[in-house]
Copies of this chain bind each other. A is one copy, B any other.
Amino acid sequence: MPHVREGALHRLFHPRSVAFYGASSDPRKIGGRPLDFIKSTHFDGALYPINPQYQEVQGLKAYPTAEAIEGPVDMAIVAVPAPHVLAALEDCARKKVGGAVVLSAGFAEVGGQGLEWQRQITELARRTGMRVVGPNCMGSINVRRGLLGTFTPSAAGFGLVPGRISLVSQSGAFGGYCLSLIRQRGIGLNLWVTTGNQSDVDFADCVRFYADDEETDVIVGYVEAVTDKQRLVEALTLARERGKRIVMMKVGSSEAGAHAAASHTASLAGSDQVYDGLFRQYGVYRARTIDELFDVAYACSLARKPPQGNRLGLLTVSGGVGALMADAAADHGMDVAPMPDEAQRRLKAIVPFAGPRNPVDMTAQLVNDVTLFEKNFNIMLEEGGYDIVVAFLSSVGQVPALSDELLQQLKKVLARFADRTIIISMLATPEVRKLYEAAGVMVFDEPTRAVRAASALVRFARESARAEAADAPPPLPAGALPAPTKALNEVEAKTVLASAGIPVVREVLAATEDAAAKAAAQLGYPVALKIASVDIPHKSEVGGVLLALADETQLREGWRTLMKRVAERAPGARLDGAVVAPMVKRGVETIIGVNRDPVFGPVVMFGLGGVFVEAFKDVAFRVAPIGVAQARAMIDEVRGRVLLTGLRGQPPADEIALAEAIARVSVFAARNAEHIDSIDINPFVVLPAGEGGVALDALIVPRHH
């Protein structure tokens, strides 16, 4: 009954009535705090303390059970000791409460009986359809309603302003810190929840709920470990369809960080690089610092139409800061295109000593002639055609009269250029900042952070466009072979991959020297000769590969050499003979791989060959299957991509064929997810544009059940 359960979550986040289990008269106690907090806000729903020992708690009539309450109860906050939580939840369920937030600790995180209690909570939620957040969580908040269903000290005194950002955190402490930060920065917030032990409602549920929430434009997530790939992917997909922006923090990219995150959550986290790939795949912006998390979320919450492109105009009152912003823009891949010559002449006529190129430097002249602001904006947007303009105004925001004058001009500019994005960087008083934000203008103290926000908006716009363009994984060809259930030799592996539409080198498995000579004559010299044995997955380690054999004499000599080496170096190996393959002409060597992630299943990997993968870990990941557009995005992500663009007078490589091969490998891996442990195509040689690519060697490791 998914619909009922969704409706239940709605009642939990938007309750008209709240019951407080374990409500205490002492507002310092965890049981007393939510009631104390909520009484200080504008929450206008009914409040029902539940405590059989008292007639009244904090001035409100207390009830022995929820069943004793006359009206309906949408939400319950449970702060009784762990042994009594289940009874409270059963009481809730009988009362047909929508959802309960269990603040109490002492469950899975302590093991033993706690584990069993938590299992029972899960079972109750599944059985009754009542949703349960927690246990061992910090609770939830609905800012517009004034609902503070939490005991975090960060919520004391409320102090939150409504906005279009909703936050979900797997960590209570992290969620509490973010709440304090949001208050300090005056960022608008809508919903806030921490998921604790996730006995029922988990991270993916919350993302999904926010995706459907009309007051939410931006979802901020803090995730430590995902347990159900499918539901997370569905939630991310829905959010993207609904046009929501997701900004996520995921810790554990370093060894020490991963260790800390794992011991902290006691659950299996997938590889950090796989999360990275997943986020890119679903258009999620991954922030690396808390500043970045909220800068980007703030920008998204105030952004107007998505920018059409990445042309960035920079307007400044300081030439130095203009150059600084240009440097930052280049680091973020933005296009700081110069103004057209004629427009530069016009700008120069307005401020003679100004830099008119881009950055456009108004100099301190702005203070003497405030109309410069609108004039410059108009010329930049009209003639420069920038998708985004970041304007640096130093500390103008500390001078209310001047700020207001500029804001009036800005409003005219915004009305005239409705499809452009404008970002202001200045030091401002909280009051000035609020006025700008009310007009839909975001304000950043620090100019490089304003530029980073601009680039994030461009990235979201690009990801949306990518998502809208149909990027279905290519179909598996009709005659595709199934994945092997036992170890394969190289030729067999390539035959399977070829059947799945991946181009492989033409080659022949020869059982005898004569058969090899015959095959070589057919393929045409020069050829390569490679030992074929399921017991020798890494052929070059036993000297099992000979290249560029020029004629029959060399081929026959080579055959004998190989057989002798194998007899000496791998005496027990089962031998299928040797593979004869034509020498492939020079292209760019790449690696396409598949690994099985414990959480996300088959994951496709791409990198340049040679030292790039090994030494620089310069690789991109995606959760299989993917379409060709995602595969191209993977290629774009690796630094070594420059090798495919045609260095040293080489022709550019066939990136289209490469992307197709990556996508097809991902489709094959996803279809055979249960049977494949890993695939390693190394090298996949990418030929010049139009000539395709070819897998020279391949290894498929089946999954042992």
Interface residue A611 (Cβ < 8 Å from any Cβ of B) = yes
Interface residue A120 (Cβ < 8 Å from any Cβ of B) = no
Interface residue A330 (Cβ < 8 Å from any Cβ of B) = yes
Chain B residue at minimal CB-CB distance from A105: B353
Q: Are A448 and B395 in contact (CB under 8 A)?
A: no
Copies, count: 2
In the complex, A320→B252 CA distance in Å? 9
Which of B169, B259, B364 interacts with A357 by CB under 8 Å? B259
Interface residue A375 (Cβ < 8 Å from any Cβ of B) = no
Interface residue A212 (Cβ < 8 Å from any Cβ of B) = no
Q: Are A449 and B324 in contact (CB under 8 A)?
A: no
Interface residue A257 (Cβ < 8 Å from any Cβ of B) = yes
With contact pairs A180-B395, A291-B449 given, residues A327 and B251 touching in the complex (Cβ less than 8 Å): yes
Q: Are B180 and A394 in contact (CB under 8 A)?
A: yes
Q: Are A327 and B173 in contact (CB under 8 A)?
A: no
Interface residue A161 (Cβ < 8 Å from any Cβ of B) = no
Q: Are A323 and B251 in contact (CB under 8 A)?
A: yes
Q: In the complex, how many angstroms separate the beta carbon of A369 from the nearest chain B beta carbon?
A: 15
Interface residue A253 (Cβ < 8 Å from any Cβ of B) = yes
In the complex, A170→B331 CA distance in Å? 24
Which residue of A264, A265, A328, A361 has the most chain B CB atoms within 10 A of its CB atom?
A264
With contact pairs A251-B327, A256-B358 given, residues A180 and B398 touching in the complex (Cβ less than 8 Å): yes
Q: In the complex, how many angstroms separate the beta carbon of A102 from the nearest chain B beta carbon?
A: 16
In the complex, A254→B330 CA distance in Å? 6
Q: Are B336 and A290 in contact (CB under 8 A)?
A: no
Listed in ascending order, the chain A residues whose CB lies under 8 Å from chain B are 109-110, 153-154, 169-174, 176-177, 180-181, 184, 222, 224, 249, 251-261, 263-265, 288-291, 317-331, 336, 338, 353, 355, 357-359, 361, 363-364, 367, 394-395, 398-399, 427, 445-449, 611, 614-616, 639, 642-643, 647-648
Residues from chain B with a CB closer than 8 A to the CB of A172 are 364
In the complex, A648→B613 CA distance in Å? 12
Q: In the complex, how many angstroms separate the beta carbon of A469 from the nearest chain B beta carbon?
A: 30
Which of B109, B254, B289 interacts with A449 by CB under 8 Å? B289
For the complex of A and B, the 3 pairs showing the least CB-CB separation, nearest first, are A173-B318, A254-B330, A264-B319
Q: Are A446 and B319 in contact (CB under 8 A)?
A: no
Known: A177-B395, A251-B327, A256-B359. 12 other contacts (CB 8 A): A154-B395, A180-B398, A224-B320, A251-B320, A251-B323, A252-B327, A254-B331, A257-B323, A257-B325, A264-B355, A290-B324, A291-B448
Residues from chain B with a CB closer than 8 A to the CB of A109 are 353
Q: List 11 A-B contacts (CB under 8 A).
A: A176-B395, A177-B394, A180-B394, A184-B445, A252-B327, A253-B327, A254-B329, A254-B331, A257-B326, A264-B320, A265-B319
Which residue of A184, A224, A611, A642 has the most chain B CB atoms within 10 A of its CB atom?
A611
Which of B184, B321, B427, B616 interacts with A173 by CB under 8 Å? B321
Which of B325, B336, B615 interacts with A647 by CB under 8 Å? B615
Which residue of A395, A447, A448 has the most chain B CB atoms within 10 A of its CB atom?
A395
Q: Are A320 and B254 in contact (CB under 8 A)?
A: no
Residues from chain B with a CB closer than 8 A to the CB of A427 are 177, 180-181, 184
Chain B residue at minimal CB-CB distance from A177: B394
Main secondary structure of the interface of A (DSSP, over half): helix
Which residue of A176, A261, A338 has the most chain B CB atoms within 10 A of its CB atom?
A261
Residues from chain B with a CB closer than 8 A to the CB of A260 are 319, 322-323, 326, 355, 357, 359, 361
Residues from chain B with a CB closer than 8 A to the CB of A252 are 323, 327
Q: Are B355 and A323 in contact (CB under 8 A)?
A: no
In the complex, A329→B252 CA distance in Å? 12
Q: Are A330 and B616 in contact (CB under 8 A)?
A: no
Residues from chain B with a CB closer than 8 A to the CB of A153 are 367, 395, 399
Residues from chain B with a CB closer than 8 A to the CB of A181 are 395, 427, 445
Q: In the complex, how many angstroms separate the beta carbon of A162 from the nearest chain B beta carbon?
A: 21
Q: Are B180 and A330 in contact (CB under 8 A)?
A: no
Q: Are A327 and B257 in contact (CB under 8 A)?
A: yes
Q: In the complex, how many angstroms separate the beta carbon of A195 from the nearest chain B beta carbon?
A: 12
Q: In the complex, how many angstroms separate the beta carbon of A444 from the nearest chain B beta carbon?
A: 11
Residues from chain B with a CB closer than 8 A to the CB of A616 are 639, 642
Q: Are B322 and A254 in contact (CB under 8 A)?
A: no
In the complex, A627→B358 CA distance in Å? 41
In the complex, A629→B601 CA distance in Å? 48
Q: In the complex, how many angstroms separate the beta carbon of A292 from the nearest chain B beta carbon?
A: 9
Residues from chain B with a CB closer than 8 A to the CB of A336 are 254, 256-257
With contact pairs A448-B288, A611-B643, A643-B615 given, residues A324 and B251 touching in the complex (Cβ less than 8 Å): yes
Q: Are B364 and A173 in contact (CB under 8 A)?
A: yes
Q: Are A174 and B264 in contact (CB under 8 A)?
A: no
Chain B residue at minimal CB-CB distance from A255: B330
With contact pairs A289-B448, A320-B222, A448-B288 given, residues A327 and B358 touching in the complex (Cβ less than 8 Å): no
Q: Are B330 and A257 in contact (CB under 8 A)?
A: yes
Q: In the complex, how many angstroms separate the beta carbon of A499 from the nearest chain B beta carbon?
A: 33
Residues from chain B with a CB closer than 8 A to the CB of A249 are 324
In the complex, A291→B451 CA distance in Å? 13
In the complex, A355→B184 CA distance in Å? 29
Chain B residue at minimal CB-CB distance from A318: B173
In the complex, A174→B320 CA distance in Å? 6
Residues from chain B with a CB closer than 8 A to the CB of A615 are 642-643, 647
Q: Are B253 and A330 in contact (CB under 8 A)?
A: yes
Residues from chain B with a CB closer than 8 A to the CB of A328 are 288-289
Chain B residue at minimal CB-CB distance from A251: B323
